Structure 1
Amino acid sequence: MKPIVKNTATAATPVSLLAGMAIASPVALNIFAPVMPELAVTFNTSTFTIQLGFTLYLFTLAIGQLISGPLADRYGRRPVLLWGFILHIAGCLLGIMAAEAWQLLLARVLQAAGGCTGMLLARSIVLDQHGKDQAAGMLGYITLGIASAQAIAPTMGGYLSLLAGWQSVFWLSMALGSIIWLGALLYLPESDKIDQNSKGFLDSFKRYNCVLSSPGYLWYALSCTMIACGFFIFITSAPFVVAKHMQGSPVDYGNWFILVAGGFWLGSLTAGKVSAKAGTNRMIKLGNYISGAGSLLMLGLFIVDSPSYLSLFLPMALFTFGRGLSQPNAQASAISATSGAKATATGMLGFLQLLIGSLMAQLTPLLMKMGLVVLPLVLLSMVLLAAYCYYRGVKACTAC
C-alpha cells in the first residue's frame, strides 16, 4: 500500500467494485438509523446524544472527503482507499465492543473517516476514465447501487437488531468493508497520473483554490447539496416520528423506508439510462421539479390529517425519485466545471454536501418540536434553494 508513482491502469475499473466502494459508507450510515431509539434506552442517554451518532458520521464524512481528495490527487487513488478502509473496519470493531455512549460515537467517527474514501474515489475514478455526459450516466448506476443499499440497510438493521441485537449492525458493516478492501487490493488499478510536482503534504491542498475559482463549480455543488440535505433531514427525523406518533418499531420503519429508497433507486436507474442523451441540465431541472412536488404533497397531507405511514413515506419516495434524477447530473456538472484535480473537486463537493447536511439533520428535529408540519416545509425550502443554485451555476458557466 505504498504510494504508486505511475499510472498503472490497463482497463476501466469494474463497475461492481466502484459500486461496492460507494455503498460501504452509506450502508454503515443508514443501517444505524432504525436502532437509534433502542440505543437511547440501552445506553441510558437522550435521543439527542444518539442522533449525534448519525450527525457526527455525516460531519466526519464531510471533513474526511475534504482531506482525502487532495491526498488522492497527490499520492494516488489506490493507497488512499486501502488505508481508508482499514480505518473503517477498525471503527466497526470499536462499535461492536462499545460499552458507553462516547465509545459508540467514536466508533461512528472512525467508520466515517475511513468509509469516506470509497464514496469519494468511486466518483473520481469514473470521471478519470469517462467524459461528463457519459460519466453522469455511470454515476447514475453507482447512485443506483447506493439507492439499493439504502433500501436494504434500514430494513436489515431493524431485523438484525430484533434477532441478534444492535451490535449486529456493526458486524454487517465490518463484513462489507472487509470484502471491499480485499476487492480493491486485488482488482483496483491506479486510474490517474500521480502529481509529483507538489512540494509536500500541505501543498496538495492548494488545489482547492483552483477548484473554488472554477466558474459554476460552487453553484452546481450547492444545488446537489440542498437536495441531499432533504434526505439527511428525513433520515434523522423519521425514525422518531414513527416511534412517537405511530408507535412503530424499527422493523416498521425499515419496511416503510423501502418506499423512500425505492424512489431513489428508480430515479437513479432512469438517470443512468437517459442522462447521456437528455443532457445534465435537463435532468437536474426535472429532478428538482419532482422533489418539489413530493415536498408539497407531504405538506398537504400533513395539513389535511394526522401523519400516517403513507403520508410520511410516499411523498418522500417522490422526493428521492427526483433526487435520483438530479444528483448524478449535478455532481458531474460540478466536477467537470474544474480543470484537473477531480478527486479534490469531488472531496469539496462531498464536504459541502455532508457538512451542511449534518447541520440541517441535527437542527430539524429541534425545529419539529413546533409541529410535524415543519418537516415538509424544510424539505420544500431545500428544493427551492437547490433550484436557485442550479440557475446560478448555469449562468456562471454560460458567462465564461
Structure 2
Amino acid sequence: MKTPPLPLLSTIALASPLALNLFVPAMPDAAQALGTDISTIQLTFTAYLLTLAIGQLLAGPLADFYGRRPVVISGLLLHSVGSVMALLASDVSWLIAGRVLQAAGGSTAMSLARTIVIDVYGRDGASAKMGYMVMSVAIAQSIAPTLGGFLALWYGWQSSFVIPVLLALLVAGLAWRLLPETCQQRTPELRVGRVLGQYRQLLGSTEYLGYAFSTTWIAAAFYLFVGSAPYLVVQNLGGNSAEFGSWFMAVSLAFMAGSFLSTRLASRFSIDQVVLIGNSLSLLGGLVLFLAVSINWLSLAALFLPMAVVTFGRGLSQPNAQSAAIACATGNAGTASGLMGCIQLVCGSALAQLTPVLMAHGLAYLMLCLALAPALAMVSHGIAIRQRHHANRTDAASQRQTTATASNSR
C-alpha cells in the first residue's frame, strides 16, 4: 500500500476546525450586523457542530463502501461551497445554511483523516501519527481565533470565510494528486440495515464507548469554553475580538504542545497511561478555572491560562483515546471513526447551545460543568481499561482451554 503523506492528512484534518474557529471571534459582530441576538447567532456554532456529527456518521459507511479518496475530495469541495454561501450571506438564515454546508463537507475530512491513519499504521503505530494530526488541528485552533479576530476587526465578519474557501480548494487539489486509496477491505454493499448493524455492534462494545466518551468529555470542556469566552471577554472584561484571539492563542498553543508531547510519549508509555496523564491535567486546569470564578477573580489571565492546562491535557489524551477507539472495530474503521465523531459533536453542539443558559444562571455553574467534564472523561477511560483487561483475560482463558483440548485429543 502506498503511504499517503502525513502533512497532507494533517492539512485535511485541520480544514474544518479552522473554518469553525475562524468565525468564533466574529460572532458578536455578526449578531450586531445582522440584527439578531446571541442565542440565534449561537446557532451558527451549534448547527456547525451538529452537522459535523451527522456528517461523520454518514461519511464512515460511505468511505467503507466507496473508498476513502473519493469521499474526502467530494467533502472538501462541498466545504468550499458552504464557505462561499456564508461569505455572501445577507441574513442569519443564509449564514446558518452556509455553515451547515461547510460542516457537511468538513465532516468527511475530519473523520476520514483519522481513518486513513488507522488503515496505514494500525492501532499501536497510529497513536504517534495521530498526535501529529491532533497537533495540526491545534495549530489551526491557535491561528484561527487570532486571525479571525483581526480579520473581523479590520475587514468585517464576512472576511472569516475567505480562507476556508481557498484552503478547501487547495487541499482538494492536493488530495486528487497525492492521496492514494487506503481502504483494503471495503464493505460489499451499502444497505441501511447493514450500516445500522455495524453501529449496533459498536454501541454494544463497552471498550469502544469508554474510549469514545473519554475523548468526548474532554472535548466538551473545550466547547463550553469556546462557546462562552468571546462574550465573557467583550461583555464582562471589556475586551474585543482581537484580544480574545490573542489570548486564545495560549489555549491552542497548549493543545499543540500536548499533542506534540503525546507523539514523544507514545514510545515510552502505553496508550492508557498517556490518556490518564492527560485527563488528570485537564481536571486540574478545570478546577483552577472554577476556583478563580468562584472567588470572583475573573481576568483575561485567570480565564485563559487555566484553560490552557485543560487543553494541554486534552492534547495528550485525545490522540491516544481516538486511535484506541477506532482500533476496536476491525474492518469497519471508517464507521467507528464516524460514530466517535458523531458522539463527540452531538454532545458538543448540545453544550454549545446550552452555554448561554448556563451563563445566565451564573458563571460558577458554567465553570463547574467545565470542571466536571474531565472527571467524567476519567470515569469513561477507567471503564474502557477494565473492559479491555476483562477481554484479554477471557481470550487468554479461551486459548488455554483450546490448547488443553487439543493436547487431550492427541
**Per the shorter chain, which TM-score range?**
over 0.9
- Mapped to 2, the partners of 1:349 and 1:225 lie a distance apart of 8
Matched residue type, 1:331: Q
Q: Could you say which residue in structure 2 is the equivalent of 1:220?
A: 211
Q: Percent identity?
A: 42
* Distance verdict in 2 for CA 1:196–1:263, change over 3 Å: closer
From 119, 133, 146, the equivalent of 1:142 is: 133
Indicate if the aligned counterparts of 1:24 and 1:173 stay in contact, CA closer than 8 A. Answer: yes
Name which of structure 1's ranges 305-314 and 18-27 shifts more when overlaid on structure 2: 305-314
Residues in 2 aligned to 1:203 and 1:399: alpha-carbon distance in whole angstroms:
28
| Structure 2: runs of 5+ lacking an equivalent | 392-410
Offset, 1:209: 2.6
Separation (CA, whole Å) in 2 of partners of 1:144 and 1:329: 13
Question: What is the identity, as a one-letter code, of the residue corresponding to 1:290?
Answer: L
Give the corresponding residue for 1:338. 329
Instruction: Name the amino acid aligned to 1:46.
Output: D
Letter paired with 2:224: I
What residue number does 2:181 align with?
190
Instruction: Provide structure 1 residue ranges, at least 5 long, that are not aligned to the other structure.
Output: 1-9
Q: SS where residue 297 of structure 2 aligns? A: coil
Query: Considering only CA atoms, is the larger Rg found in Structure 1 or Structure 2?
Result: 2
C-alpha distance in structure 2 between counterparts of 1:332 and 1:306, whole Å: 39
Letter in 2 for 1:193: Q
Tell me what 1:5 maps to. Answer: none
- CA distances 1:186-221 after superposition (whole Å, capped 9, x unpaired): 111100125252264664443223322334001110
Q: Which residue of 1 aligns with 2:285?
A: 294
**Can you list the C-alpha shifts for 1:347-392, whole angstroms capped at 9, x where unaligned?**
0000000001110121122112121122321111111111111111
Q: Which shows bigger deviation, 70-79 or 125-134? A: 125-134
1:272 aligns to what? 263
**Matched residues in 1 for 2:154 and 2:235: separation?**
23
Which residue number corresponds to residue 387 of structure 1?
378
CA deviation profile, 1:11-36 (whole Å, cap 9, x unmatched): 21101100111000000000110000
User: Structure 1 residues 201 and 388, CA, compared in 2 at 3 Å: closer, same or farther?
Assistant: closer
1:6 equivalent in structure 2: none
Taking the aligned partners of 1:339 and 1:28, their CA distance within structure 2 comes to 32
| 1:387 counterpart letter in structure 2 | M
CA distance in 2, matches of 1:268, 1:199: 35
Report the equivalent of 2:398: none
Which stretch shows the higher mean deviation, 299-308 or 59-68?
299-308
Residues 214 and 339 of structure 1, relative CA distance in 2, 3 Å threshold: farther
Q: What is the aligned residue count?
A: 391
**CA offset digits 1:262-301 (Å, max 9, x no partner):** 1101100000111232111001110111001101111222
- 1:72 matched to 2:63: yes
Whole-Å separation in 1 of the counterparts to 2:194 and 2:361: 47
The answer to whether structure 1 residue 38 and structure 2 residue 33 are counterparts is no
1:371 aligns with 2:362: yes
Contact 1:72/1:343 (<8 A) preserved = yes
Q: Which residue of 2 aligns with 1:316?
A: 307
Tell me the residue number matched to 2:144.
153
Is contact 1:220–1:390 with CA below 8 Å preserved after alignment? yes
Displacement of 1:345 after TM fit?
Answer: 0.2
1: CA distance, partners of 2:193 / 2:76: 23
Aligned equivalents of 2:186 and 2:204: distance in 1?
20
What letter corresponds to residue 286 of structure 2 in structure 1? S
1:74/1:204 contact within 8 Å kept: no
Letter in 1 for 2:356: P
User: What RMSD in Å do the two structures reach over aligned CA positions?
Assistant: 1.3
Correspondence list, 1:85-164, <5 A:
85-164=76-155
Alignment partners' CA distance in 1, 2:196 and 2:165 = 31
Q: Please, which of 231, 242, 257 is the counterpart of residue 251 of structure 1?
A: 242
Residue 177 (1) aligns with residue 158 (2)? no
Shift of 1:332: 1.1
CA distance in 2, matches of 1:205, 1:91: 29
Structure 2 counterpart of 1:303, one-letter code: S
Instruction: Look up the match of 2:295.
Output: 304
TM-score, length of structure 1 as denominator length:
0.95
- For the 8 Å contact 2:148–2:245, the answer to whether it is kept is yes
- Residue aligned with 1:131, SS: helix
Letter in 2 for 1:394: I
| TM norm structure 2 | 0.93
Aligned CA distance change for structure 1 residues 367 and 193 (closer, same or farther; 3 Å): same
Please, which of 200, 216, 234 is the counterpart of residue 209 of structure 1? 200
Q: Which residue identity does 1:99 align to in structure 2? A: S
In the other structure, the counterpart of 1:347 is 338
Aligned residue for 1:230?
A: 221
Q: Distance in 2 between matches of 1:263 and 1:245?
A: 24
Report if aligned partners of 1:70, 1:205 keep a CA contact under 8 Å in 2. Answer: no
CA contact (8 A) 1:132 1:332 kept: yes
Give, in angstroms, the shift of residue 161 of structure 1: 1.3
Q: Distance in 2 between matches of 1:131 and 1:55?
A: 33
Larger displacement relative to structure 2 (153-162 or 103-112): 153-162
Instruction: Decide which of 224, 230, 245 is 1:239's aligned counterpart.
Output: 230
